[in-house]
Structure 1
Amino acid sequence: MDRTLRTALLKLHGQQTLPASHFTAAQRSALDRFARQTGAVICQRQGRGDVYRVSDPRLFDIHLSALSPQVGMLATDDLPLRAQHIAHARDSKARNHQHECYYPLLKAVGEKVLWRQGEHGSELPLSQLTHHFGAASLRIETGDTWQSGQSLWLVENQALFDRTDWLPVGTQATLLYYGGQLDGRLLAWLGQRPRASRVVLFPDYDGVGLANFARLFAQLGDTCECWLMPDWQSKLADYGSQRLWQDTLREFTSAVPQLPDYLGPLTEQMRQSGLALEQEAVWLPAL
């Protein structure tokens, strides 16, 4: 209710009158209740419709300030977005609260893996940083030009980020840990320009993992790949989980029509067996 009333009062703020048609039904209901309780606003008939008018500006400002402490700060670009939300609504997560920048966790596999921004711009020597510190990060945002000449592998679970002996022999790549769901800012960044020689996603073979790849494939098309671990057929049968399959069935059903044909054998075996498989099975022997 506070959010609805706040939105309505902000619309009315600074206006002599405002037609009722400018408000949603919920906002009109909140304004009518506010008018009855405070007398700071009145609704009047004007022409063929109703209009709302501030009848007691001082009282109106007191109530508006209680809901939105810094009304005059709402359009400023000088403060971080979440700070503006606190000023606007006493809540950093009001409105769109996602930060503009994204900082993925990266590590190099192999030597001489690096990222460049512009032909003569900044360099991130990822192999060197990984050797010294174990991992590194990179600020990515719309409009930057970061690129790598090596492939980029995306993994869902930390175990595969920590220990990289599951990768094909001779891999020279950047490994990026995304923790369950591919962030929309990362997807948009990957889709903006070529970022690596190849983008490879190794997800859990469940509904969530396949849905993530469907989102990536929608951005990159055939320039990305969903990696199938060696002996995946046997491992799905030997180590697959019925519970995981059931828990992510809705995502699986939505994702399958959006996937490339080469994943057909995987999704068909998953459907027929009613099993899903987690990434960490890559280390287990086929029985």
Structure 2
Amino acid sequence: MDRTLRVALLKLHTQKAIPASQFTVAQRSALDRFARQTGAVTCQRQGRGDIYRVSDTQLFATHLAALSPQTEIVNMAEHLPLRAQHIAHARDSKARSHQHDCHYPLLKAVGEQVLWRQGEYGSELPLSQLTRKFGASSLCIESADTWQSQQPLWLVENQALFDRSDWLPTETRATLLYYGGQLDGRLLAWLTQRPRASRIVLFPDYDGVGLANFARLYTRLGDACEYWLMPDWQIKLARYGSPQLWQDTFREFTSAISLLPDYLGALTEQMRQSGLALEQEAVWLPSS
């Protein structure tokens, strides 16, 4: 109710008198209740419709401030972070769309001379050097930037695969990016904007969520991205697969299946027939 009333009062705050037809049914109900309780707003017949008016400016401002403490700030979008605007607007940083513009993925180099460059600014991130010194690094990425690497970019779902890179194919020279379960929309937008690496490889859990994440990536990048199948995945799926994980992510599996490339058909069919899904960390387990 507070949210509905706040939206209605903010409309009146800017115009002082507004036809009832410009409010939703819920907003009119909230305004009528507010008018009866406070007298700060009235609803008057005018012509063929009703008009809501602010009848007591000071009282109206007091109640509006209780719901939206700094209405003047709401229009300063170019000066304030989005969540700060929401606090001013509704005392809640998550009141409306609240995702930050920038994203800071955690990155790690595998091998030597792994670099990221942003050409127009002459910026360079020496990822191999930073990984040796600090264990990992990060970039502030935005879809319009021009950060690129000449090496492949591997996206991994679970931290264990980020902490230890000995599961990767021999001689791998690449960037590892840890995305923590779900591919962030800002990361997808960034990858879509321009070629970011020589190859994009996703290694997720072999479950509905992992396949759905790849479907989101493949829909945007097509064959420029790859779903990595670990050696002996068929044996490991049968030996170490989880029926509970399969059940828990079956909905995502069914929504993703039609969006996947043909080469994943053997994996998805074995998952379907066995009723099993497999977590990434099985890459370290024996297959014989």
User: How far apart in 2 are the matches of 1:211 and 1:235?
Assistant: 21
Alignment CA distance shift 1:119-1:35 (3 Å): closer
Partner of 1:45: 45
CA distance in 1, matches of 2:16, 2:3: 22
**Residue number in structure 2 paired with 1:248:** 249
* SS of residue in 2 equivalent to 1:123: strand
Aligned to 1:117: 118
Aligned to 1:182: 183
Question: Displaced runs of 4+ in structure 1, greater than 6 A?
Answer: none
Where does residue 19 of structure 2 map in the other structure? 19
Partner of 2:9: 9
CA shift, 1:14, in A, is: 2.7
Please list, as runs of the form range in 1=range in 2, the aligned pairs for 1:74-153 lying within 5 A after superposition: 74-76=74-76, 77-118=78-119, 121-153=122-154
Structure 2 CA distance for partners of 1:119 and 1:65, relative to 1, 3 Å: closer
AA in 2 matched with 1:196: A
Measured after TM superposition, the shift of residue 120 of structure 1 is 6.0
Partners of 1:219 and 1:28 in 2: CA distance: 43
Measured in 2, the distance between the counterparts of 1:124 and 1:200 equals: 21
* Secondary structure, aligned partner of 1:13: helix
Query: Quick one: percent identity of the two aligned structures?
Result: 80
Instruction: Tell me the distance in 2 between the aligned counterparts of 1:7 and 1:190.
Output: 36
Tell me the distance in 2 between the aligned counterparts of 1:20 and 1:264: 57
CA distance in 2, matches of 1:131, 1:14: 57
TM-score by length of 1: 0.98
SS at 2:122 equivalent: coil
Q: How far off its partner does 1:16 sit? A: 3.3
| Contact 2:143/2:191 (8 A) holds in 1 | no
Structure 1 unaligned regions, length at least 5: none
Give the superposition deviation at 1:143. Answer: 1.2
Instruction: Name stretches of at least 5 consecutive residues in structure 2 with no aligned partner.
Output: none
2:284 maps to 283
The aligned residue for residue 270 of structure 1 is 271
2:170 alignment partner, SS class:
coil
Give the secondary-structure state (helix, strand or coil) at the position aligned to 1:196.
coil
Tell me what 2:72 maps to: 72
Question: In 1, are the aligned partners of 2:205 and 2:280 still within 8 Å (CA)?
Answer: yes
Report the residue type matching 1:133 in the other structure: F
**Cα distance between partner residues in 2 of 1:83 and 1:185:** 20
**1:168-197 CA distance string (max 9 Å, x none):** 111110000000000000000000000000
1:63 is matched with which residue? 63
Using structure 2 for the length normalisation, give the TM-score.
0.98
Number of residue-to-residue matches in the alignment: 287
- What is the CA–CA distance in structure 2 between the aligned matches of 1:114 and 1:161, rounded to whole Å? 18
RMSD: 0.9
Q: Distance in 2 between matches of 1:120 and 1:7?
A: 43
Q: How far does residue 75 in structure 1 lie from its aligned partner after superposition?
A: 1.1
